[in-house]
Amino acid sequence: MSRRQTSIEANGEYPSSSLLSAGRDRTFETSTDELDLAIETNDIKKSFGDTRAVDGVDLRIPRGTVYGLLGPNGAGKTTTIRILTTLLRPDAGTATILGHDVVQDAAEVRAKVSLTGQYASVDEDLTGRENLVLVGRLLGFSWRDAKKRADELLTAFGLEDAAARQVRTYSGGMRRRLDIAASLVVTPAVLFLDEPTTGLDPRSRNQVWAIIRAIAAEGTTVLLTTQYLDEADRLADRLAVIDNGRVIAEGTSRELKATVGASTLHIRLQDPEHREEAETVLQNHLDVAVHDGPDRDALSASIPHDQEVAAVLTALADADIRVAEFSLGQASLDEVFLALTDRPAEDTTEEMSA
């Protein structure tokens, strides 16, 4: 097997497939006769006191895909991941990872999965290399193999120049990349990423995205929760929207967007003081919910038929409401999220606590 090492540059270059799969040399391969589903849940439920965190979640996630879990704060995303990674026992229902029950076969599940939580789990007092060597040793590598694997991953993730520095000196993006690298010392069959890019700058986010794409291309199933809908839009093959502990929508990004409407009309008003009047006009003519835009002078609404745009603009003009600009396009995932949950996709971080 080739060991060519490729760093992740700012342009989003992927690590080499041979390097990411190198950890498979030791163990944790899955047999070809296993089910095509990497993750399957049936009516799983979990309560904390009087709070029902997960209320009957059903998931069917094929192997080798990137699957996104979206939902507002407290929707049950992180609790679901904790159940799937054997950190919590469900109160009811069943969940399997590659055919192994998360309760009855917990040891087998743990041998096949890796979890990167919302917060970096690396030791700040150790260097980047020492962190990866430590993980390797805990996983049964010899000192020589642990050092070799650590150097491979440090190079792949563009951290070789900082390998001898304490992690406390790393930037947020560097810590995140090291955290994911630690999850790949042995390449898992299923990788769980909980809010993998929260708080990162755009350049670091692009680098993490490149890592996720490379991991999935190598055959690892990736389940991620994210507060960035553009992240889910770009990375996930399929998405599930969770609210109040239940899956309320599931499908590809295109399928979810189609549920909002064929097209979305975006309007920017010349005078924000006419916002309420404009909203009333749109509601009367389209009979749909009107959503706020990023600014006080912006509105958006679903358009069942494109030909209705002219009638809406005429109605606004008749009401002496001047439009500075308008555009017609497919609904964004943000608008889907708002339509489904009645809440914006802001502040969707969720504590990884029981």
What is the model's pLDDT at position 119? 66
Q: How far apart are CA 229 and CA 179, in angstroms?
A: 22
What is the model's pLDDT at position 107? 95
HSE, side-chain direction, 13 A CA sphere, residue 190: 27
Per-residue confidence band for 324, with pLDDT thresholds at 50, 70 and 90: very high
Q: Is the pLDDT of residue 40 over 90?
A: yes
What is the model's pLDDT at position 184? 86
Between 7-11, 115-119, 325-329, the lowest mean confidence (pLDDT) is in: 7-11
**How confident is the prediction for the chain on average, in pLDDT?**
82
**19 within 8 A of 6, measured Cβ to Cβ:** yes
Give pLDDT tens digits for 41-61.
999 999 999 999 999 999 999
**30 within 8 A of 37, measured Cβ to Cβ:** no
Cα-only R_g, the chain: 23
What is the model's pLDDT at position 122? 87
* C-beta atoms surrounding 58 within 10 Å: 14
Q: Is the pLDDT of residue 278 over 70?
A: yes
What is the model's pLDDT at position 328? 79
* Helix/strand number for the chain, H first, E second: 12, 14
What is the model's pLDDT at position 23? 57
Give pLDDT tens digits for 81-131.
999 999 999 999 999 999 999 999 999 999 999 988 766 678 999 999 999
What is the model's pLDDT at position 331? 67
Per-residue confidence band for 195, with pLDDT thresholds at 50, 70 and 90: confident
Percent of the chain residues topping a pLDDT of 70:
82
Place of tokens 């964004």: 332
Q: How far apart are CA 31 and CA 34, in angstroms?
A: 6
Query: Do strands 298-303 and 290-292 pair parallel, antiparallel, or not at all (unpaired)?
Result: antiparallel
Largest pairwise CA distance in the chain: 78
What is the model's pLDDT at position 17? 47
pLDDT average, residue stretch 224-237? 84
